[in-house]
Amino acid sequence: MIFISFLVGLICGIGLIVSGMANPAKVLGFLDLAGKWDPSLILVMGGAIGIGFFAFRWAKSRNTPLPAATKIDRRLIFGSMAFGIGWGIAGFCPGPALVGLGMGLPKALIFVIAMLAGMGIYELIERRRGG
């Protein structure tokens, strides 16, 4: 099972590199709608939507129940905003940042350290809240 997990992670990482998602300059170019917009990642987004469509159909056909939470609250909204703002500033989200770390990109190291710090702060806050 560990080998299969490694293989799937490796394929995912290669996909992020080939697609350009591990290149923060490319991601920031895609997000820069008012400047020099680079629309090439639309193909990546379309591919992800297509794969996600079939993956969700497959997941729904299984006997294992899917998460049923539908509540949109402040925590979800602020968490989503923090994720999007971080992605827009750094050009990384967690998966591509880990790939960038493996590629030896200094910006990825800074991002991963900040990401881990944010995860730690979240855990501390949740423990204090009793969550």
29-83 residue pLDDT tens: 999 999 999 999 999 999 999 999 999 999 999 998 888 889 999 989 999 999 9
pLDDT at 89 exceeding the cut of 70:
yes
How many CB atoms lie under 10 A from the CB of residue 87?
Answer: 19
Mean pLDDT of 82-107: 93
Count helices and strands in the chain by DSSP H and E runs:
6, 0
Task: List the structure tokens of 60.
Answer: 């729904």
Total domains present in the chain? 1
Give the whole-number percent of the chain exceeding pLDDT 70.
99
Q: Residue 104's pLDDT band (boundaries 50, 70, 90)? A: very high
Task: Report, in this order, helix, strand and coil percent for the chain, each rounded to 5.
Answer: 75, 0, 25
Range(s) of the domain holding residue 109 = 2-129
Q: Residue 131's pLDDT band (boundaries 50, 70, 90)? A: low
pLDDT at 67: 86
